[in-house]
């Protein structure tokens, strides 16, 4: 079965409360990563209609802190489906609802694996990108996957055909 990327879209919204912040009044990175994991898992589950587990989290760079009392918007969507795994891209936005100001906080890629009733990996639906942005994320997903596999020791650099095309002779 095939599904469109837009069908997996999840937008999660949270209010930053005192218990979510550090001594500087900024949202703690760990709390944000927790919320991102939930949003990404929901997007992956929407795509494959099965339970999922987090397989990897790519680099998360915090561009702009989100302050206490601000709102967090996490937009998560599957960018590509492989055999049993899915890459999910997230954009995170902060919003000062009083001043009516929205700003980008960060973005990241998470990878999830779909599970069968016995807790073993199971095949997932193919993903069909429609927009130019979805196609760009889809095309880059194979390179990101190969890089993750190399860094995780599950692939030898010389086996990464997509990366060879970028760095090879």
* Digit-coded pLDDT (tens) for 56-109: 998 788 899 999 999 999 999 999 999 999 999 999 999 999 999 999 999 999
> pLDDT at position 133, please?
96
- Each residue's pLDDT tens digit, 150-167: 777 776 777 767 666 666
> pLDDT at position 150, please?
74
Chain centroid, CA 129 distance in Å = 16
Q: Binning pLDDT at 50, 70 and 90, where does residue 118 land?
A: very high
- Each residue's pLDDT tens digit, 4-56: 999 999 999 999 999 999 999 999 999 999 999 999 999 999 999 999 999 99
Q: Which residue has the tokens 């760079």?
A: 61
Name the least confident of 108-122, 127-141, 144-158. Answer: 144-158
- Global pTM value: 0.90
Of 42, 100, 44, 49, residue with least CA distance to 71: 100
What is d(CA 50, CA 116) in angstroms, rounded to the nearest whole number? 7
What is d(CA 91, CA 115) in angstroms, rounded to the nearest whole number? 26
Alpha helices (H) along 5-160: 29-48, 132-151
Within 10 Å of residue 8's Cβ, how many Cβ atoms? 24
> pLDDT at position 51, please?
98
Q: Does domain 2-129 have CATH number 3.30.930.10?
A: no
> pLDDT at position 152, please?
78
């Amino acid at each position: 079965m095939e599904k469109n990327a837009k069908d997996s879209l999840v937008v999660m919204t949270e209010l930053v409360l005192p218990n979510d912040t550090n001594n500087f009044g900024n949202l703690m990175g760990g709390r944000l990563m927790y919320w991102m994991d939930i949003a990404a898992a929901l997007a992956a589950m929407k795509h494959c209609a099965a339970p999922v587990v987090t397989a990897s989290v790519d680099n998360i760079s915090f561009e702009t802190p989100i302050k206490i009392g601000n709102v967090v918007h996490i937009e998560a969507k599957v960018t590509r489906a492989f055999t049993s795994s899915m890459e999910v891209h997230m954009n995170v936005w902060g919003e000062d609802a009083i001043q009516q100001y929205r700003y980008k906080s960060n973005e990241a890629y998470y990878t999830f694996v779909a599970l069968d009733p016995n807790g073993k990996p199971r095949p997932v639906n193919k993903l069909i990108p429609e927009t130019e942005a979805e196609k760009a994320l889809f095309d880059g997903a194979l390179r990101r996957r190969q890089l993750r596999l190399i860094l995780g020791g599950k692939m030898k650099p010389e086996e990464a055909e997509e990366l060879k095309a970028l760095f090879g002779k």
